[in-house]
Amino acid sequence: MSTTDKPVLIVGGGIGGMATALALANTGRASHLMDKVAEFGEVGAGLQVGPNVMRMFDRLGVLDRIDEIAYYPENLILRDALDSSEVTRMPLDKAFRDQFGYPYATIHRADMHKVLTDACRDSDLVQLENNCKIVDFEQDPGGVRVHTEDGRVIEGSALVGADGVWSTVRTQLLDDGEPRITGHVAYRAVLPMDEVPEHLRSNSVVLYGGPDLHLAHYPMRKNGELFNMGAIFHSQKFTAGADVFGDTEEMHKHFEGVSPEVEQLLGKIEEWRMWVQRDREPVERWTEGRVTLLGDSAHATLQYLAQGAGMAIEDAWTLADRLQETADVPTALREYEDRRIVRTARVTLFSRLYGEIYHAKGVARAVRAQMLQGWPPEAARQSFAWIYNGI
């Protein structure tokens, strides 16, 4: 089998991995996606999906399927968590859609993953394999080989590590230590919209920003049948944990002094799922020869710009595009890296900055209000144009 006949090997079956397999299939290239989990699926709650990501779904040929599971909010609204006063809003109206070409959506993470997985299963060019744990890899000019825990050797033309913030592929490729503990934790929950009192509902994405904390909520699913909430705050109690039960008592302690509306929203949930928030310092390279990284494996970021999944999907399209346009695999992977390094680093660094803005306290809170109140919609749109114009 020649190098060009060998599939691209993808480690990790999350959103980034599935998007990569689908993007490759759309260019006529085969892939073999492997994950250690017994069944493909996603945990978590809601995702905010900017127009840059909707553009990627269009290119991947799944925009119609995404439309069936998406909710289209009316605004992005920032409120003060202490008194519920409105700080600023950005309408997601016709002017927004005309400027960026696509709408802004909210989508349940599991629904998005299913769309991508189903599209992969529809393709003869995608091989999906569960219960496949990768222990190491090797490469030479003729290709790459991954070694599995059960003793198999799987050959490919390239290896893409899309195996998340705790990437096995990254550990061998870069050996640059563990992801950074940020001191932020995220508590997430989803409940039926009809369980939410009408005065607390909104057709918009609403974020209440307060001292070292925020609460965000928005509808999900086509008719807004679900209500997604995320409570993020600074805590040194947890240094590990993903999709585990949170400490509700600790959360309420951190949110003491917030407005009655925020208190009522938090009180609607008895059991929260908790994630310790980690990111990584941007790096100058994540590719070596025929091996590269993608998504959180390459550039783990905080959630404050709502672009983590979006960057992985942009990565996927760019990687497939470069492999289609450039015959030499190592050259194509370097071109992919060159096109993604600065953009993803900017998202990582600006996500930290927006976290400081949302979590402002004291004088910084007053500065935030003065800066953003009365912000015209065109100025708000322009401030996000570098993200939403996409690639």
pLDDT > 90 fraction of the chain, expressed in percent and rounded: 88
Nearest by Cα to 132 from 115, 157, 153, 117: 153
Q: Decide if 199 is inside a domain.
A: no
Given a cut of 60, whether residue 225 has pLDDT beyond it is yes
What does the pLDDT read at residue 45? 87
| Predicted confidence band of residue 28 (pLDDT cuts 50, 70, 90) | very high
Given a cut of 90, whether residue 113 has pLDDT beyond it is yes
Question: Over the chain, what HEC string results?
Answer: CCHHHCCEEEECCCHHHHHHHHHHHHCCCCEEEECCCCCCCCCCCEEEECHHHHHHHHHHCCHHHHHHHCECCCEEEEEECCCCCEEEEEECCHHHHHHHCCCCEEEEHHHHHHHHHHHHHCCCCEEEECCCCEEEEEEECCEEEEEECCCCEEEECEEEECCCCCCHHHHHHCCCCCCEEEEEEEEEEEEEHHHCCHHHCCCCEEEEEECCEEEEEEEECCCCCEEEEEEEEECCCCCCCEEEECCHHHHHHHCCCCCHHHHHHHHCCCCCEEEEEEECCCCCCCEECCEEECCHHHHCCCCCCCCHHHHHHHHHHHHHHHHHHCCCHHHHHHHHHHHHHHHHHHHHHHHHHHHHHHCCCCHHHHHHHHHHCCCCHHHHHHHCHHHHCCC
Which neighbouring-strand residues pair with 229? 189, 217
Q: Decide if 310 is inside a domain.
A: yes
What does the pLDDT read at residue 236? 78
Q: Decide if 75 is inside a domain.
A: no
What does the pLDDT read at residue 4? 65
Q: What is the pTM of this model?
A: 0.95
Q: Decide if 206 is inside a domain.
A: no
Q: Decide if 74 is inside a domain.
A: no
Q: Which domain holds residue 343?
A: 8-42+109-179+280-356
What does the pLDDT read at residue 187? 94
Structural domain count, the chain: 1
Query: Which of 37-51, 64-78, 239-253 tops mean pLDDT?
Result: 64-78
**Token code pair at residue 64:** 């119609």
Q: Decide if 347 is inside a domain.
A: yes
| Predicted confidence band of residue 1 (pLDDT cuts 50, 70, 90) | very low
Nearest by Cα to 49 from 100, 120, 6, 94: 100
Q: Decide if 148 is inside a domain.
A: yes
What does the pLDDT read at residue 156? 98
pLDDT 10s digits, 235-269: 877 767 777 888 889 899 999 999 999 999 999 98
Q: Decide if 145 is inside a domain.
A: yes
pLDDT 10s digits, 331-357: 999 999 999 999 999 999 999 999 999
Given a cut of 80, whether residue 182 has pLDDT beyond it is yes
Specify the CATH number for the domain of residue 289.
3.50.50.60
Q: What is the mean pLDDT of residues 97-118?
A: 98
pLDDT > 70 fraction of the chain, expressed in percent and rounded: 98
pLDDT 10s digits, 297-340: 999 999 999 999 999 999 999 999 999 999 999 999 999 999 99
Average pLDDT over all residues of the chain: 95
What does the pLDDT read at residue 25? 98
Return the residue matching tokens 């979006």: 310
What does the pLDDT read at residue 338? 98
